[in-house]
Amino acid sequence: MANTKVRGYNILLTVGGNSIVGTTSDTFAGGGKLKEAIQKSDAGQTQYLNSGYEGNISVSSFVGNGTTGTNELGIENLMMYCRDNTTGTFALAFGTTSGDPKVTGSCTFMSCTVNSDSEEYSDCTIDVNITSVPTFTTV
């Protein structure tokens, strides 16, 4: 089986079953968290142990006014969730075909940045911290 490129619009973040309205890009970053240990039994040699997972997801989207549809998160929701550091479950799918990669876990909304100018549409960036060791499965 040959590898195929994943189109950006096929990558979708959902939190609590709801997707962010107007998503233009998603960034997923994370990896194991190392803890340094020095013990007498190691003859003073530094040892590194995996002590969990650190990661975040950043989503850029257009700012939209009006009523959000079913299973959608609008700018009002996102600003409140970031204000309150709301927690939830997330799913980030890297495609829509059966067998495509998907990561799931728990997250906390951290910040919302709104960007605008006098000529173009407003956009926003939402940052979410991954707060559990994620599970990697398929769609």
| Per-residue confidence in pLDDT tens, the chain, 139 aa | 577 777 777 788 889 899 988 888 999 999 988 888 777 777 777 888 888 899 999 999 988 887 888 888 999 999 999 999 999 999 999 888 888 899 999 999 999 999 988 888 899 999 999 999 999 999 8
Q: What is the pLDDT of residue 90?
A: 94
Does residue 2 lie in a domain region? no
Q: pTM here?
A: 0.81
Domain with 110 in it: 8-138
3-state secondary structure (DSSP) of residue 78: helix
What CATH number is given to the structural domain containing 92? 2.30.110
Name the residue type at position 40. K
Q: What is the pLDDT of residue 30?
A: 93
Does residue 119 lie in a domain region? yes
Name the domain count of the chain. 1
